[in-house]
Structure 1
Amino acid sequence: MTHNIVTLAPHHLDDVWRIEQAAHAFPWAESLIRKEPNKLALNCGLQIDGRLVGYCFGQLVAGEATLLNIAVDPACQGKGYGKALLEGFITLVEQQKGEEVWLEVRASNTRAYQLYESLGFNEINRREGYYPAENGREDALIMTYMVM
């Protein structure tokens, strides 16, 4: 199996939208997925044997990258693709001379939290009641990674 990190292009967006709906209990609006990226965007996807299995939306401003959204097709989870995708995103940040990466993760998303921590992200803060949840609101954990 060959995997490639690719810059998201318009022809990827049907797959991105399908994965977004399948992977998130509270998906982004389709209009956000299909919005034309601005010059600060750092959006990439992970292809396995030419098929898009995951993506991330990010931006890079003044050396600080923010990971806004990341997902792997639920049918493809548990195979290390999330790690490969996140490593690819970090590599793009490095290539663009970024110095750090920021993200927020649901407090209940322990699998994602453990992945981020395993790659060197550190929790630095908490936003109480940030995300919508089944029973009201859920905290966001803010994590950062220093690019070498």
Structure 2
Amino acid sequence: MLRIFFLYMLVTVVINLSFDHQTYPQVSLAFTYADQHREVEVAPLDTFQIMLPMQMGNGRQWMFSASDHPELKLIHQEMKDVKPLPGGKYHQIFTFQARQSGFTMLRLTIKKPWKDNLEEEFKMFFNVTSPYAQELPQHPEMGEVALE
């Protein structure tokens, strides 16, 4: 009986160690493709998701370049099925965390990995503000950013 108990404990420990236990901050905002070109104000350490439609099996996927956006950090990415069929609809979900104050244009692009030309892009503008900031950041395309 004691051997069975120790075997059970060993199996439980091995199973628990084999799963990904990484936790992510709680998401405070969620955006979809309909929010394209929207300007949003977030605070440092706010966490938000962007959910974009895609179709599996055609080689296309949304991509994000982290080096373009020091104000935002991609902390998780996943696929979620809408219709679990071959070639069915999926959502590609990006989870970001605001890291430093500033104004940035978040740009996600979709293309086939073996081609150079972009097929589509998704843009949103994020103003990461600190409660201690004295002046508003400037952006050449948007002019002065106004707090609402």
Q: TM-score, normalised by structure 1?
A: 0.30
Query: Is the radius of gyration larger for structure 1 or structure 2?
Result: 2
Q: TM-score, normalised by structure 2?
A: 0.30
